[in-house]
């Protein structure tokens, strides 16, 4: 599989009762295929212009349980944890809207859609 980027996923792990902040676990992936982004597109139409498609090849560190609808996707490798989505206000972020487990064929991978 051709890869063109790295990726950071912030997976929501619930709520910290003491601080009332959401709990986020950060996962970094070095070799992913990343397509799409912000902007208008004649081919996709206005509603789908800001969609992204991401394919993460299976390797020893990949577990589909690390992904959920609503998790945050950031292109590139970030090295800090967050307490709220506002901590990522300086970055172009997307929320996961679909997850497909393509664990067959020559290039098994997880396919993520985001808006």
Q: How confident is the model at residue 32 (pLDDT cuts 50, 70, 90)?
A: very high
- Which tokens go with 79? 């090295």
pLDDT tens, residue by residue, 17-31: 898 888 999 999 999
pTM (two decimals):
0.86
The domain spans of the chain are 5-114
Residue 38 to residue 22: CA distance in whole angstroms: 26
At 36 the pLDDT is 86
- Which tokens go with 66? 């690390």
Please say if the pLDDT value at position 40 is more than 50: no
First to last CA, the chain: 23
Q: What is the longest distance spanned by two Cα atoms in the chain?
A: 48
Q: Is residue 111 within 8 Å of residue 33, measured between CB atoms?
A: no
Q: Per residue in 17-31, is it b (16+ CB within 10 Å) or e — as a string?
A: eeeeeeebebbebee
Burial of 82 (0-12, 13-18, 19+ CB in 10 A): middle
């Amino acid at each position: 599989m051709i890869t063109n980027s790295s990726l950071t996923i912030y997976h929501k792990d619930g709520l910290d009762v003491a601080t009332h902040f959401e709990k986020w676990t950060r996962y970094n992936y070095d070799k992913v295929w990343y397509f799409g982004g912000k902007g208008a597109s004649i081919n996709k139409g206005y509603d789908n212009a800001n969609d992204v498609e991401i394919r993460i090849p299976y390797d020893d560190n990949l577990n589909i349980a690390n992904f959920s609808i609503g998790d945050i996707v950031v292109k590139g490798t970030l090295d800090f944890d967050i307490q709220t989505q506002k901590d990522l206000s300086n970055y172009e972020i997307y929320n996961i809207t679909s997850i497909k487990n393509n664990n067959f064929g020559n290039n098994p991978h997880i396919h993520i859609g985001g808006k």
